[in-house]
Amino acid sequence: MKAFITVIGKDKVGIIAAVSGLLAARNINIEDISQTILQGTFTMIMAVDISEAKLSFEELSAELDDEGKRLGIEIAIRHEDIFNAMHTV
Amino acid sequence: MINRNEIMETVRMIREHHLDIRTITMGLTLFDCITDSARRTAEKVYEKIVREAGELCAVGGKISAMYGIPIVNKRVSVTPISLVGASGGEYIGIARAMDRAAREIGIDFIGGYSAMVQKGATAGETAFLKSIPEALATTGKVCSSVNVASTRAGINMDAVRLCGEIVRETAYLTRDADSIGCAKFVVFANAVEDNPFMAGAFNGIGEADKVINVGVSGPGVVKTALATIPDGDLTEVSETIKKTAFKITRVGQLVARTASEMLGARFGIVDLSLAPTPQIGDSVAHILEEIGLEQVGAAGTTATLALLNDAVKKGGIMASSHVGGLSGAFIPVSEDAGMIAAAQSGALTINKLEAMTAVCSVGLDMIAVPGDTTAEVISAVIADEAAIGVVNNKTTAVRLIPVYGKKEGESAVFGGLLGTAPIMPLSRISPAKFIRRGGRIAAPVHGNKN
């Protein structure tokens, strides 16, 4: 099962390390990362495989949300189906 | 493979432009709850709702987490209670059972305290109609609707007259809360049986036992898309709305399908309606203003709304395997920041709103009027809307709130999604003789299609 994590906020040291560390500890594989910084706003998209995750989607979503709050940025995860539904016919 | 821009477009729609799923509504059949004891029927209604819809909120939460999109309301609609309660001969007890069940399972509203009397009312249905004010005043989550007209049957003016009285009495009984009971009551022409939106949702008699109907939202997304083509002509405007409506509806279809699977229910329909909220950036009025009106209510409002309504349908229809409900643009005054502003400034009048209802998906919706408005005037407004619906072969509806003790220039405050309503003037010229005549207005020629 694939999902996309989006991280949006003010750029600072350690964002990728924090998110990837959290994912590794929950047995979630990162398949792709892309990031940009536009006018000081950091935007990162991670494609992840959550098939072997040690926790449910809801729990993971809540943990990422908490981690985002700790870092002062927004971290969200969405199942790939919502993007496929919206952008493919 | 989805690309970065597409991912960010979806994310922006949700986090910046208020894209959400407005409601997951479970339609439930209650025919199997009918007994000849009113008390036993009410018990069975309570048990069935709790049993079948008990997981609705939990499933809504799971889907919301999975797709990262808010699901604003979880609701239940049931078989019209005028039918369910007919054998037991008492209805209020069922309304209370519905309210108890709705609280138990944590849903926002439950619809279906309803009757279909477009051609005539049975003795039981008349008793049911008279129970509506008390039902609305003594419950919190129960919504009620009455279908008084259809293109096939014409308009039942006896029912129209009674509905004016129901609105007045409900306003009085809920006078301590700005007559909020009237916000839970809607009078229809050509009511649809799979509407997921309140106050008019009920599970029609042609529906299956357990059905999921989903209503999407997204006025903010449409407005934002239009802001990218400030100089585009109206063909471009329409194309942009269609593309946006397609994307929004695809999310509705995904959520409806997922919810149906998780709840062991049938997928019913996706309702394409653009449903506003009082939040800034979530207004249908602001879309019309983005198209080019200085303020909604200006000349051109009906034409821009017609364009919007048509483009939303055309974009949405291909995005869902089953489109239904009301599917168009909603224009509830109190629930739309742009409509509220226009009503307050005098730009938007009830006369203009009436014209708009000929081209949008519903009718005169969430409009606060002076508390001393007579029942006959309310009935006559209902008759006008019903005539527009019947002749134009579309759904129309009236949800007027004659706010007890308040007059033009004041406001009614309902809070939450129901918003704030400036009290708008209604014509005080009497239609009383017309209303008191009673009887039926015959179906139009094109209602006789066979």
- For residue B56, the domain's CATH number is 3.20.70.20
By Cβ distance, the residue of A45, A57, A61 closest to B7 is A45
Question: Tokens standing for B346?
Answer: 């005098």
B154 vs B443: CA distance, rounded Å: 4
Q: Which residues in chain A are closer than 8 Å to B61, comparing Cβ atoms?
A: 58
Res A35: pLDDT: 92
Q: What is the pLDDT of residues A56-78, one digit of tens each?
A: 999 999 999 999 999 999 999 99
Query: Quick one: B177 and B66 in the same domain?
Result: yes
Q: What is the pLDDT of residues A25-56, one digit of tens each?
A: 999 999 999 999 877 889 999 999 999 999 99
B168 vs B156: CA distance, rounded Å: 19
Please say whether the beta carbons of B326 and B357 come within 8 A. no
Query: Quick one: B311 and B423 in the same domain?
Result: yes
Q: In DSSP terms, which residues pair with A42 in a beta bridge?
A: A9, A37
By Cβ distance, the residue of B11, B15, B250 closest to A85 is B250
Question: Which is it for strands B396-403 and B185-189: parallel, antiparallel or unpaired?
Answer: antiparallel
Question: Nearest chain A Cα to B316, which residue?
Answer: A86
CB contact under 8 A, B251 and A57: no
Provide ipTM, 2 decimals: 0.95
Q: How many CA atoms lie within 13 A of B169 on its CB side?
A: 16
Question: Nearest chain A Cα to B58, which residue?
Answer: A58
Q: What are phi and psi of B305, to 5 degrees?
A: -65, -40
Res B415: pLDDT: 78
Say what the alpha-carbon torsion angle B19, B61, B206, B394 is, to the nearest 10 degrees: -20
Query: Quick one: B131 and B262 in the same domain?
Result: no
How many Å separate Cα B1 from the centre of its chain? 38
CB contact under 8 A, A83 and B62: no
Q: Which residues in chain A are closer than 8 Å to B15, comparing Cβ atoms?
A: 8, 74, 76
Query: Quick one: B244 and B383 in the same domain?
Result: yes
Best of B6, B67, B242, B262 to mutate (most A CBs within 10 Å, chain A): B67
Q: What is the CATH T-level fold of the domain A2-87, as seen in this structure? A: Alpha-Beta Plaits (3.30.70)
- State the nearest Cα–Cα gap between B293 and chain A, in angstroms: 30
Query: Quick one: B424 and B287 in the same domain?
Result: yes
Buried b (16+ CB within 10 A) or exposed e, B213-233: bbbbbbbbbbbbbbeeeeeee
Domain ranges, residue B255: 215-436
Query: Quick one: B172 and B307 in the same domain?
Result: no
B259 vs B252: CA distance, rounded Å: 10
Say what the alpha-carbon torsion angle A82, B362, B75, B28 is, to the nearest 10 degrees: -110
Res A55: pLDDT: 94
CB contact under 8 A, A58 and B251: no
Q: What are phi and psi of B194, to 5 degrees?
A: -130, 25
Please say whether the beta carbons of B222 and B274 come within 8 A. yes
Res B361: pLDDT: 82
Q: How many CA atoms lie within 13 A of B332 on its CB side?
A: 25
Please say whether the beta carbons of B365 and B314 come within 8 A. no
CB contact under 8 A, B68 and A82: yes
Query: Quick one: B172 and B250 in the same domain?
Result: no
Res B98: pLDDT: 98
CB contact under 8 A, B68 and A57: no
CB contact under 8 A, B8 and A45: yes
Question: Tokens standing for B113?
Answer: 């305290």
Please say whether the beta carbons of B107 and B76 come within 8 A. yes
CB contact under 8 A, B67 and A86: no
What residues in chain A have their Cβ under 8 A from chain B's Cβ atoms? 4, 6, 8, 34, 43, 45, 57-58, 61-62, 74, 76-88
CB contact under 8 A, A62 and B2: no
Domains identified in chain B, total number: 2
By Cβ distance, the residue of B61, B62, B254 closest to A82 is B254
Residue B166 lies inside a defined structural domain of this protein: yes
Res B138: pLDDT: 97
CB contact under 8 A, B69 and A74: no
Residue B48 lies inside a defined structural domain of this protein: yes
Angle at B167 (CA atoms; ends B344, B407), nearest 5 degrees: 35
B138 vs B135: CA distance, rounded Å: 5
Q: Which residues in chain B are closer than 8 Å to A62, comparing Cβ atoms?
A: 65
Q: Which amino acid is at B174?
A: T
Q: Which residues in chain B are closer than 8 Å to A4, comparing Cβ atoms?
A: 2, 7
Enumerate residues 6+ apart whose C-beta is below 8 A from A22.
Answer: A63, A64, A67
Enumerate residues 6+ apart whose C-beta is below 8 A from B202.
Answer: B77, B78, B79, B80, B111, B112, B114, B145, B191, B193, B195
B53 vs B60: CA distance, rounded Å: 11
Res B218: pLDDT: 87
Enumerate residues 6+ apart whose C-beta is below 8 A from A9.
Answer: A15, A41, A42, A68, A71, A72, A73, A74
Residue B348 lies inside a defined structural domain of this protein: yes
Q: Which residues in chain B are closer than 8 Å to A87, comparing Cβ atoms?
A: 2, 6, 9-10, 247
According to DSSP, residue B447 is labeled G
Last residue in a domain, options B140, B172, B189: B189
Residues of chain B with pLDDT below 50 are none
Query: Quick one: B82 and B126 in the same domain?
Result: yes
Selection from B337, B388, B398, B395 nearest residue B366 by Cα = B398
Query: Quick one: B282 and B394 in the same domain?
Result: yes
Q: How many CA atoms lie within 13 A of B318 on its CB side?
A: 12
Residue B183 lies inside a defined structural domain of this protein: yes
Query: Quick one: B34 and B105 in the same domain?
Result: yes
Last residue in a domain, options B189, B207, B233: B189
Averaged confidence pLDDT in chain A:
94
